Structure 1
């Protein structure tokens, strides 16, 4: 059961064929979107896909871990969804506070990832810099930095990544990078900045549908096995 190297998360899973197509690929996490989105799935749909994924070895001989993407959920909403879809990770992608993240972790016994937007400036003086990660020390398991707005298909300034990696390491957090990634640029990202994980959705789609060939290319290049 090997999960060595850069972790790969494929987000926005909706179809059984996508999971079938990832068998044997170096994919560590599959993501389900529960927030309002064209990729949104119901808890029941996610549960069915999770059942299939549990029988589909990907990274090494391991089944992928599951991540649920939420935007400003209530505890009641989380409880209802997690009672149906047994997720490994709750990813908070809205304006949730560190206190809320802590309650989620304690109440549901899941790992918590906090997504943070990377605005064009991300000024430390305005609370937008790497010091944001300090508040998640001992609370979140990972921080995911993404282009502001999310799902834009655009990258942010990658030269900001080293300072975030340093802050993540200092606070005992893993650092995932998202935003505008594709099979064409992920190798450069990983080679230059060495994030612990990468997260992609639209970049491995063709006409809005997950493309197995693009997923394979992305995952292998992220692991430098392309």
Structure 2
């Protein structure tokens, strides 16, 4: 199972995440308490021992223009663009051509989520299911009802796309989520203390995932 550590917004965060076993390193370029600028990401990545070749950088955007995203991809050397707003399938397709990157689409859990996944099935490279509050597009630290996860995985796999789960995932509950076997998990607040990435929480999370993966292969 793939791991994405998102919301890195300091040099220390980046050092901790690049030294972890995470497959994806996430940065939020949308308005958020974890918002960063492309130039900052460029500088931080230049100051750490080069990230593992297996680690890919992900930029999170909410209803930004193609021009803004293209600049961020270029300056911050992003490998993946994660669309977190009300973007359309046509927008995602245009972005893939302009930026030459993989595009992920966040689908917020509600009674219309499966319909939205259907619309994006041919336009994007991965789905990420997240929770949403009235005040935030994500990063709420609250989980949705994970009994719906198998439905999301089934829909994503019908398009041969991976399905990541976000929202309220942490060290204490990750085993409960892994019972549903998502393709990946996405954490921000779940690996933080006082809004800073906590290396020990990262290690504990990784260990629990590895134990579960090993158990599942026996």
What is the TM-score of this pair, normalised by structure 2?
A: 0.89
* Structure 1 or 2: more helix by fraction: 2
TM superposition shift of 1:70:
0.2
The number of aligned residues is 209
Among 175, 186, 190, which residue is 1:203 paired with? Answer: 190
Among 149, 169, 174, which residue is 1:161 paired with? Answer: 149
Q: Distance in 2 between matches of 1:84 and 1:24?
A: 22
* Closer, same or farther: CA 22–79 of 1 in aligned 2, 3 Å: closer
- The answer to whether 1:108 aligns with 2:103 is no
Q: Distance in 1 between matches of 2:46 and 2:180?
A: 35
Contact kept? 2:7, 2:188, Cα under 8 Å: yes
**Aligned match of 2:167:** 179
Q: Distance in 1 between matches of 2:155 and 2:184?
A: 15
- The answer to whether 1:86 aligns with 2:86 is no
Among 126, 129, 134, which residue is 1:145 paired with? Answer: 129
Contact kept? 1:10, 1:27, Cα under 8 Å: yes
Q: How does 1:7-156 map to 2 (within 5 A)?
A: 7-22=2-17, 25-52=20-47, 55-57=50-52, 62-119=53-110, 122=111, 128-149=112-133, 150-156=138-144
- The answer to whether 1:212 aligns with 2:207 is no
Q: Distance in 1 between matches of 2:154 and 2:73?
A: 33
Structure 1: which 5+ residue stretches go unaligned?
1-5, 123-127
Contact kept? 1:25, 1:220, Cα under 8 Å: no
What is the TM-score of this pair, normalised by structure 1?
A: 0.86
* Closer, same or farther: CA 225–195 of 1 in aligned 2, 3 Å: closer
